Amino acid sequence: MDGTHLFELVIAMFLAIIALHYLAHRLGLPPSVALLTGGAALAFVPGLPAIEVDPELVLVIFLPPLLFDGAWSIAVDRLKRHMFGIASLAVGAVFFTTVVVAVVTHVLMPSLPWAGCAALGAIVSPPDAVSARAILERVNLPRRLQILLEGESLLNDASGLVLFRFAVAAATTGAFSATNAAGTFILLAAGGAIVGCVVGYAWVKLVRKLHDDYLMIAATTLMCWIAYLLGEQLHVSGVIATVTAGLIASWHQHTVMSAATRMRGTSFWTVLVFLMEAMVFILIGLSLRDIVERGGGFGALLETMALPALAILVTIVVARFVWIFASDVAIELAHRTGLARSVPMGTGAATVLSWAGVRGVVTLALALSLPDAFPGRDFILVIAFAVIMGTVLLQGTTLGAVISWAGLRGTEAEGAPMTMSQAEAAMAQVQFAKVKSLAFDTDGNLIHPQLLRRYEHRATAIIDYAQRTEDYVPMLHAHFDVVLEAVAVGRTELIRLHRAGQIDDETLRELERDLDLEELSAISAKA
């Protein structure tokens, strides 16, 4: 395929993404399900060239920005607060699932060496960051579950990648040491964290010297790939390096970036991540054709692989349930005996957390990266794809129902000392104090009376609102409904003036930007 045809295919995939997202919205389906099935259907369109996915290239292109985006948007304080639970999922659950899948696979396929069974276990054990994001965007979870799933999706790929590489090395050399594996894992994780810190703080220094919004956005975009590639080049965890750099950048972006840079960067990054996430699911679906051809066709695959695939799919789901419920029981015992302050999640929350383990691009990329001579490669590839399809189609479509069954709500309090209204009141008070100090000239004459009254009124009103929030909510919503109506008619008049030739394009854009900011502010205040 020449470059022109490749570019045409990429454009066609972007068009398919738009169509499939629209279809998913109309049918009430998760976009990941529509994209995956749509990509699988497109793979068999007559005349469409076969898509060969380079696994290393897929990981390098897609994984760093999606991990970085998750680290950028995650709540760092809650991440630290729930780090023990996240580590239990990202490391403990991955190791446990790998062992269980390896044992079950060896029972199903005694001819497959233990190293091959372990490789399959490592491939299917880590839930995918992209799939987790696709699910979390459509559901409303308590904050504790939300942070556990987000944190797990950021870190578990590192565990899966390390286990996978050890399994492949064991199959190649015939030697394996659990002690060496554990030590190497710690070194890889620590090395990745160090690389991420270096890249993150270098970004902070660089952005402070840049005085151009677009240069800052470009530097931030490139940072995720720099951290990942540098980590891999130094033979440490590129995943941990990327996540660490993203956390550092997220922490400092409030002080090193201007408001304009953040708004422009957020808009750019949102579209970029949207296209990348969608492209991942399309590529997974398109890879079905090669997998079916390797297995001898749909009929042969169903006859020989259906039962093993179903057994392993059930195994990974059950293993996750066992690990999470056992961990919750251990937390409850420790809490009752006074050994830990953490409280158990309960049956409903544990069920939702267990059911949210969807697999995706990392599973497929690892399976495709197996050497051609690796024992059981085609079997592992088919099983990996079946696990992706099964978890996305089954768990991805039913997670909302499971959340409803569990009766969970997204309003769980985290015990922060101040509410948002109280924080706004504190901010308004210091703003009023600053304006008051600047409202008079050196002779004591009031030179900014309207500004002083405005900030004084705001400080007084927000304190009252913080004390009686529930009483103000209906009036607040009605107030901003009127603001949104005013913005709408203002925009209509602005466009009319432009179309009538009364104002030029520059005036249109400047005033429209003001209306956009006012509209976004009103929508945010109503939320």
pLDDT tens digits for range 174-186: 666 667 767 778 8
Q: Is residue 37 included in any domain, yes or no? A: no
Q: Is residue 332 included in any domain, yes or no? A: yes
Instruction: Please identify, among 357, 378, 406, the residue that sits at the C-terminal boundary of a domain.
Output: 406
Residue 241 belongs to what domain range? 53-406
**Rounded distance between C-alpha atoms, residue 13 and residue 8, angstroms:** 9
The answer, yes or no, to whether residue 202 has pLDDT greater than 60, is: yes
Q: Is residue 413 included in any domain, yes or no? A: no
Residues contacting 487, CB < 8 A, separation 6+? 515, 518, 519, 522
Nearest one of 454, 459, 404, 357 to 126, comparing CA atoms: 357
pLDDT: which is higher, 424 or 210: 210
- What the block records as the tokens of 330 is 């251990």
422 and 282 in a single domain? The answer is no
The amino acid that residue 283 corresponds to is L
> How far, rounded to the nearest angstrom, does the alpha carbon of residue 2 sit from its chain's CA centroid?
34
**Rounded distance between C-alpha atoms, residue 88 and residue 95, angstroms:** 10
Q: What is the mean pLDDT of residues 262-291?
A: 86
The C-alpha torsion from 147 through 148 and 150 to 155, rounded to 10°, is 130
pLDDT: which is higher, 328 or 141: 328
**219 φ, ψ (degrees, to nearest 5):** -65, -40
Cβ pair 123, 157 in contact under 8 A: no
137 and 106 in a single domain? The answer is yes
Count structural domains, the chain: 3
Distance of CA 93 to CAs 88, 124, 142, 197, 352, Å? Answer: 6, 12, 21, 27, 15
368 and 440 in a single domain? The answer is no
Cβ pair 248, 206 in contact under 8 A: no
**What average pLDDT does the chain have?**
85
430 and 350 in a single domain? The answer is no
Enter the pTM of the model: 0.80
Please state whether 47 falls in left (phi above 0), alpha (psi between -120 and 50) or beta: left
Nearest one of 278, 276, 283 to 225, comparing CA atoms: 276
The pLDDT of residue 137: 67
Q: Is residue 30 included in any domain, yes or no? A: no
Q: Is residue 305 included in any domain, yes or no? A: yes
> How far, rounded to the nearest angstrom, does the alpha carbon of residue 449 sit from its chain's CA centroid?
48
Range with the largest mean pLDDT of 191-200, 291-300, 303-312: 191-200
382 and 451 in a single domain? The answer is no
181 and 207 in a single domain? The answer is yes
Instruction: Please identify, among 406, 433, 449, the residue that sits at the C-terminal boundary of a domain.
Output: 406
- Rounded to 10°, the helix 377-390/361-368 angle is 170
391 and 475 in a single domain? The answer is no
pLDDT tier for residue 262 given thresholds of 50, 70 and 90? confident
- What the block records as the tokens of 394 is 């089954």
The CATH number that applies at residue 264 is 1.20.1530.20
Instruction: Please identify, among 428, 443, 466, the residue that sits at the C-terminal boundary of a domain.
Output: 466
461 and 321 in a single domain? The answer is no
The pLDDT of residue 228: 95
357 and 482 in a single domain? The answer is no
Q: Is residue 423 included in any domain, yes or no? A: yes
Cβ pair 373, 75 in contact under 8 A: no
The answer, yes or no, to whether residue 90 has pLDDT greater than 70, is: yes
**Rounded distance between C-alpha atoms, residue 250 and residue 234, angstroms:** 24
The amino acid that residue 382 corresponds to is V
Which residues, listed in sequence order, are joined to residue 440 by a DSSP beta bridge?
Answer: 446
**Rounded distance between C-alpha atoms, residue 134 and residue 399, angstroms:** 12
Q: Is residue 6 included in any domain, yes or no? A: no
**Rounded distance between C-alpha atoms, residue 308 and residue 108, angstroms:** 7
Q: Which residues of 70-105 are buried (b: 16+ CB within 10 A; e: fewer)?
A: bbbebbeebbebbeebbbbbbbbbbbbbbbbbbebb
**Rounded distance between C-alpha atoms, residue 116 and residue 377, angstroms:** 8
pLDDT, one tens digit per residue, over 369-399 is 888 788 888 889 889 888 988 888 888 888 8
Cβ pair 101, 124 in contact under 8 A: yes
pLDDT: which is higher, 502 or 423: 502
Residues contacting 504, CB < 8 A, separation 6+? 498
Please state whether 415 falls in left (phi above 0), alpha (psi between -120 and 50) or beta: left
212 and 331 in a single domain? The answer is yes
Asked which of 163-177, 318-332, 422-436 is least confident by mean pLDDT, the reply is 163-177
Range with the largest mean pLDDT of 7-16, 194-203, 352-361: 194-203
pLDDT, one tens digit per residue, over 69-86 is 888 888 787 888 888 889
Q: Is residue 32 included in any domain, yes or no? A: no
